[in-house]
Amino acid sequence: MQIDLTTLPFSCRGSWMAVSILPAGWNGQHNSPGLYLRTIHSSAHTPLVARLTPELGGRPAPFTAELRGAALSLDCGGEALGLCFDDADTLVVRGSAGLALTVDFLCESGPYDYIYSFTWAGRHFRMANCYKNNARYLIASEQGEETLDQAWRESSSLYSRLRFSGSGGFLFALREIETEWDGRWKSYRFDESKAVMDGSLQAFRAGLPVCPPSWTEAAQRAGYLLWSGLVRRDGFLSREAMLMSKNWMTSVWSWDHCFNAIALSYGAPALAWDQFMIMFDFQDATGLLPDSVNDVHVVWNYCKPPVHGWALRKMMQHMTLTPLQIQEAYERLGRWTDWWRTCRDYDGDGLYEYNHGNDSGWDNSTAFSALPPVTTPELQAFLVIQMDVLAELAASLNRTEQAREWKKEADALLARLLSSLFVDDLPVVRRSGTHELVPNDSLLPYVSIVLGERLPKRVRERMLEVLSGSAFRTAHGFATESPRSPQYRSDGYWRGPIWAPSTMLIVDGLTRCGATALARETVRQFAEMARASGFAENYDALTGQGLRDRAYTWTASAFLAMAADLL
């Protein structure tokens, strides 16, 4: 499988390392263009660990890249460079006879970086002490020659470069060491490492939604992205976590994780449960979930929309919860729902507000063109669904009275939503307190169609009339801002581009409203776009070109789930 290392990083399940081709000045760094080993740890001062330069005849060699199972193969003018993980912390590198590889540890980018050499149990090792990365990297050769080019000055090296070569080829292993090395080192064999990782990737793919044969290659690419997007437990993350990307969106956000959990629920229920619950590990005493988390940061400035009940309902279509999981889900979702009821109804009208576009997940949507707090219909819709799910969970726990109360509250909120946030049977946005309308051409209010059959027939018909027309639909799906809008921008984040979550939510609502043909066509358009442009963070609504982070896990998850269900 061909791989574009400028968009899709090479990594493996559990690893905090990745290999990418980066342009000059990538993400604010002071790097030259090239192939780089990076760290995903947020504790690093810089994500760049080392520049990897394949060489032929003493000169940098151009190359093409291919994924062969779980291994990366670079064709360097007829000579081969292979990279494969042996485990999450160890990268094995093999080069053919005519090739050399320089690994430049970029000591000029910060103080205290250098390489020291030592012998342990009769073996020669190098340790790259990378203060800039808050880690060390232990290196030992299994085959070929290894030379160190380093200039030490006082407490740092001005540069530290290792060069690997050999008349019969070379092979070495590099292991990330966060604290202290345990003194163990095996004899690494590239093909053995590849066989283990191939098995891991194959087993992971077997637990994903099954797509039609015509989408097999795209599904395999999506499976690789999700598998390689996982990191092992570390720092604040007490579970194996699927990051949104190993490019630069290297965190978990409090609605993104739900879409990954849904995709995993088809055949990997334990991992799906971990992805669903990971944000609830940080739920505070009020019931609030944080905006995002990674290994060293928890962000509380914003929250994210309460899609968790909707997501759990989708998951329960594919996996059976244990009694303990039902209990935990009920308690956590109940606290999360009560937080909205207690803390986000400033004007006491029984409708709930966002303090910022970031709270909705639609950061800069024109629904927030007026100074928040604002009340949006899809927020109420999510909470109605969440209350419905809580009623179902309570009934499973034989809490009949609580089930009745949740259902009563869901019905009451739906009534308030329909009376206050629909005008002429179409959804609107209002400012909190004044209740004045917020003019916008955003798709966001129409996400309330996710209520499906819970909406009155006349409302469903009016919303379907708009959604089946040209206001938001393009040749690639639903734009998040109407292309007719003066606020539309092709790369405007939530002011135009097509996103996976908005597509999946709208598609679910269309299906529940009986508009299966439109839902299926929307999924086909999205799938074709993803096949052509990769699993990007979002897409130009008019051209289908991938935008922003180009290896986004929730996009791959939404593709797999929608393709399996509707294609």
Tens-digit pLDDT profile for residues 360-393: 999 999 999 989 999 999 999 999 999 999 999 9
DSSP states of 144-198: SEEEEEEEEETTEEEEEEEEEE-TT-EEEEEEEESS---S------HHHHHHHHH
Domains, the chain, ranges and CATH?
Answer: 17-182 (2.70.98.10), 200-566 (1.50.10.10)
Q: Give the model's confidence band at 315: pLDDT under 50 very low, under 70 low, under 90 confident, else very high.
A: very high
- The first and second tokens of residue 105, run together, are 């540890």
Q: Is the pLDDT of residue 528 over 80?
A: yes
What kind and span of H or E run contains 487? none
Look up residue 548 and give its amino acid: R
Average confidence (pLDDT) over 480-504: 98
Please tell me the distance from the alpha carbon of residue 202 to that of residue 204, in angstroms, as a whole number.
5
DSSP states of 439-488: ---BSGGGGGGGGGGGS-HHHHHHHHHHHTTTTTEETTEE-SB-TTSTT-
Beta strands in 205-290 (DSSP E): 230-231, 241-242, 252-253
Average confidence (pLDDT) over 87-115: 94
Q: Give the model's confidence band at 50: pLDDT under 50 very low, under 70 low, under 90 confident, else very high.
A: very high
Is the omega angle on the peptide bond into residue 373 within 30 degrees of 0, that is, cis? yes
How many whole angstroms from its chain centre is CA 335? 25
Q: Give the model's confidence band at 110: pLDDT under 50 very low, under 70 low, under 90 confident, else very high.
A: confident
Q: Residue 213 contacts by C-beta under 8 Å, 6 or more apart in sequence?
A: none
pLDDT tens sequence across 331-344: 999 999 999 999 99
Beta bridge partners of residue 180, listed in sequence order: none
Q: Is the pLDDT of residue 107 over 90?
A: no
- The first and second tokens of residue 374, run together, are 């604002």
Average confidence (pLDDT) over 121-145: 95
pTM, full prediction:
0.96
- The first and second tokens of residue 71, run together, are 């291994």
Q: Is the pLDDT of residue 109 over 80?
A: no
Longest dimension (CA), the chain: 81
CB atoms within 10 A of CB 119: 8
What kind and span of H or E run contains 446? none
pLDDT tens sequence across 437-464: 999 999 999 999 999 999 999 999 999 9
Task: State the pLDDT at residue 111.
Answer: 87
Q: Residue 27 contacts by C-beta under 8 Å, 6 or more apart in sequence?
A: 47, 248
| pLDDT averaged over every residue in the chain | 96
Pairing of strands 298-299, 374-375: unpaired
Please tell me the distance from the alpha carbon of residue 382 to that of residue 386, in angstroms, as a whole number.
6
Task: State the pLDDT at residue 406.
Answer: 98
